[in-house]
Amino acid sequence: QDTSPEQWQVAAALADEFFAGSGASDVERTLFIVGDEKQSIFSFQGADLETLAIMRRTFREAVEAAEAVWDEVGLETSFRSTPTVLKAVDTLFASQYDAYESLSDGLKRTLEGLKGVHDNRIQSPKVTADRNAERTSKLRIDPDAADEPECEHPVIITHPETGRKALYVNVVRTHRFAGMTEEESRPLLEYLFEHSSRPEFTCRFRWRDGSIAFWDNRCVMHRALNDYPGQRRYMNRVTVDGGRPA
């Protein structure tokens, strides 16, 4: 049968709720997430999610103080046909705008002229001198290992759209500064790695069924936590657009 005007009104309301806030203000967005809690029946009715969370926490504390059993029923029980299986899967997102802006003026000047060497051959640059020696030996005896690409990117980049500066190093791929050895680079790099993921720059997102996250890789760094031992994690990631950092 044809969709009735009333059904179209419901569909329009749901669509408005799904995209709520995506274009409602001029506030710059580097991370945008939607999911079941945002889409829940409570949210659709206009309730305040923060107030609901406070009430839930208050009731839980009271029940546990009375030594009674507290059990939280997921929103998907009534709103989704299939309940969530994996609950504790988190991703950390860190603003590299904030990481750069909190650096001292002296360190900013030092980093402005540096380039980081990003290498796909290693898991982490925080390696010992012995491992560096092993890696160097491997390059000498295994010519194929030298074919892996290296890329140089500025340590401080300027976002092409916002014009803001961001720190651009990461613990997985950046293993030295251009023109320096790994041993020479390590002290400053390790400081930057720790600095870039300080708690005040970071938010923690817990995935649920139906969650979707959009982030700007040019100014937001992310790390998936291995908080699901013994279980396999499947996710779909799509890169919308890209360019060379500058």
152 and 208 assigned to the same domain: no
Encoded amino acid at 194, one letter: E
188 and 209 assigned to the same domain: no
Instruction: Provide mean pLDDT across the span 152-163.
Output: 93
- On whether residue 208 sits in a domain, the answer given is yes
What are the tens digits of pLDDT across the range 96-143? 999 999 999 999 999 998 999 998 765 444 443 344 444 444 443 344
- On whether residue 22 sits in a domain, the answer given is no
- On whether residue 67 sits in a domain, the answer given is yes
* Cβ-based burial of 97 (10 A; exposed 0-12, middle 13-18, buried ≥19): buried
82 and 127 assigned to the same domain: no
Instruction: Provide mean pLDDT across the span 191-204.
Output: 92
64 and 138 assigned to the same domain: no
What pLDDT score does 129 carry? 39
108 and 192 assigned to the same domain: yes
- On whether residue 240 sits in a domain, the answer given is no
Domain boundaries, position 42:
5-16+28-93+200-224
* Token pair 């997985």 in the structure block, residue: 172
Domain count for the chain, please give it.
Answer: 2
127 and 174 assigned to the same domain: yes
CATH number at residue 160: 3.60.130.10
- On whether residue 230 sits in a domain, the answer given is no
71 and 143 assigned to the same domain: no
205 and 85 assigned to the same domain: yes
193 and 204 assigned to the same domain: no
- On whether residue 234 sits in a domain, the answer given is no
128 and 64 assigned to the same domain: no
Per-residue pLDDT for 25 more than 60? no
> How many angstroms separate the CA atoms of 7 and 12, rounded?
9
> How many angstroms separate the CA atoms of 52 and 87, rounded?
20
182 and 217 assigned to the same domain: no
User: If phi over 0 gives left and psi between -120 and 50 gives alpha, with beta otherwise, what is residue 21?
Assistant: left
pTM higher than the cut 0.85: no
User: If phi over 0 gives left and psi between -120 and 50 gives alpha, with beta otherwise, what is residue 51?
Assistant: alpha
212 and 182 assigned to the same domain: no
